[in-house]
């Protein structure tokens, strides 16, 4: 299947932005790779790439050709996976784009559980904001997205959905640590460590923050959960995460998580989705089932 090798060459150049870097990844010489691309362009009768001193950029014809390439590579991966499934799921790769809030505990735990059953399956996981994740799905760069509050798109189909409330997190000795359900007005009595703009948890907070702008004391604003968690220990600071961003097994008892009333901050959907027009591999389909089971368990 020589054409598949050529498709991988094109895809590698697009991802790396230069022939030299793509050749290094593919373990061939840059001159050989450039020659193969020129042969392909001669065969197509059009330039796929615009060559610039700082690298390669897709031409208009190249943009069209890349969609064909990635669709074909995706279909071939699915075919191989289906052949493998005849004798059990022995190998394959699942590519994902996931929200930052899911990267610390939720997605790693489900991947590890899946690989315990199917050790031959590997994963490529990109952490991305929801709009970027949808763009990667539409460009055939990932099989699935698992994201919070995604923008709607007619070519994307939801496989599983779970409503996610916002959760306040704090030191176990915090004055609010023993309350079962918090109102946002409880939280603003203390310094806040708030998520940075662009994160879903910040979008959920915006309206509530605006309504009490004169009352709040912001200790820090960060896009890092680790920074937030570090600022909670041995302090009266309060941070915020979505429900699925909390550990399922809370081994660190110094940090606790308390639900915030939906009357103050509305939950948002957590969605596992695929491209409507794209068939996914057996491995990706089974993994999406694992995500769905997890989300169903959360919703119960």
* Residue carrying structure tokens 């662009």: 198
Residues 185 and 215 in one domain: yes
Shared domain check, 219 and 176: yes
Is residue 69 a part of any domain in this protein? no
Residues 274 and 147 in one domain: yes
**Locus of tokens 């603003």:** 188
Least confident range of 61-65, 129-133, 218-222: 61-65
Most distant pair of Cα atoms in the chain: their distance = 72
Count of beta carbons in the 10 Å neighbourhood of residue 92:
23
Q: Are residues 52 and 142 in the same domain?
A: no
Give me the mean pLDDT over the 182-195 stretch: 94
Q: How many residues comprise the chain?
A: 300
pLDDT (average), residues 279-296: 86
Q: What is the pLDDT of residue 7?
A: 75
Residue 248 falls within a domain, yes or no?
yes
Q: Is residue 24 domain-shared with residue 156, that is, in the same domain? A: no
* 180 shares a domain with 247: yes
Q: Give the C-alpha distances (Å, rounded to integers) separating 136 from 202, 244, 286.
A: 23, 23, 21
Q: Is residue 85 part of a domain?
A: no
Claim to verify: residue 219 and residue 258 sit in the same structural domain: yes
Let me know whether 180 and 237 are in one domain: yes
**Residue finishing a domain among 48, 64, 80:** 64
Q: Quote the pLDDT of residue 300.
A: 45
Q: What is the pLDDT of residue 88?
A: 56
- Condensed to tens digits (0 to 9), the pLDDT of residues 15-25 reads 888 888 888 88
Are residues 254 and 172 located together in one domain of the fold?
A: yes
Is there a domain that residue 84 lies in? no
Q: Let me know whether 109 and 176 are in one domain.
A: no
pTM reported for the whole predicted model:
0.65
Structure confidence by residue, pLDDT tens digits, 233-262 = 999 999 999 888 777 655 557 899 998 998
The answer to whether residue 80 sits within a structural domain is no
Do residues 245 and 103 lie in contact, with contact meaning Cβ atoms separated by under 8 Å? no
CATH number, position 113 = 3.40.190.10
pLDDT at 50 over 70: yes
Name the token pair of 23: 């050749």
Q: Which domain holds residue 128?
A: 91-161+269-299
Q: How many independent structural domains does the chain possess?
A: 3
Q: Are 151 and 131 in contact (CB under 8 A)?
A: yes
| Order of strands, sheet of 144-148, starting from the edge strand that comes earlier in the sequence | 121-127, 92-98, 144-148, 268-275, 156-164
Could you give the angle at the alpha carbon of 62 between the alpha carbons of 56 and 66, nearest 5°? 105
More confident call, 201 vs 175: 175
CA-to-CA distance for 295 and 300, rounded, in angstroms? 9
Q: Which of 40-44, 165-169, 206-210, 294-298 has the lowest mean pLDDT?
A: 294-298
Let me know whether 180 and 257 are in one domain: yes
């Amino acid at each position: 299947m020589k054409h598949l090798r050529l498709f991988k060459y094109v895809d590698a150049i697009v991802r790396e932005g230069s022939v030299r870097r793509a050749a290094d990844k593919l373990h061939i010489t840059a001159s050989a790779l450039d020659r193969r691309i020129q042969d392909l362009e001669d065969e197509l009768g059009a330039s796929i790439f615009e060559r610039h001193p700082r690298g390669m950029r897709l031409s208009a014809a190249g943009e069209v050709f890349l969609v064909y390439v990635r669709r074909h590579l995706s279909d071939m991966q699915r075919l191989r996976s289906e052949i493998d499934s005849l004798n059990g799921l022995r190998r394959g790769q699942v590519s994902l784009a996931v929200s930052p809030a899911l990267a610390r505990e939720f997605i790693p735990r489900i991947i590890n559980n899946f690989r315990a059953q199917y050790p031959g399956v590997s994963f490529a996981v990109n952490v991305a904001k929801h709009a970027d994740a949808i763009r990667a799905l539409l460009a055939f760069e990932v099989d699935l997205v698992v994201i919070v509050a995604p923008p709607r798109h007619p070519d994307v189909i939801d496989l599983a959905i779970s409503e996610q409330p916002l959760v306040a997190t704090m030191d176990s000795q915090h004055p609010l640590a023993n309350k079962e359900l918090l109102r946002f007005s409880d939280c603003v009595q203390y310094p806040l460590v708030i998520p940075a703009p662009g994160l879903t948890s910040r979008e959920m907070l915006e309206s509530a923050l605006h309504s009490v702008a004169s009352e709040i004391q912001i200790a820090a604003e960060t896009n890092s959960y680790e920074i937030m968690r570090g600022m909670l220990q041995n302090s009266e600071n309060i941070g915020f995460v979505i429900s699925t961003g909390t550990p399922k097994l809370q081994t660190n008892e110094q940090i606790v998580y308390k639900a915030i009333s939906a009357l103050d901050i509305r939950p948002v959907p957590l969605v596992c989705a695929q491209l409507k027009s794209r068939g996914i591999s057996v491995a990706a389909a089974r993994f999406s089932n694992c995500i769905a089971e997890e989300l169903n368990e959360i919703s119960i």
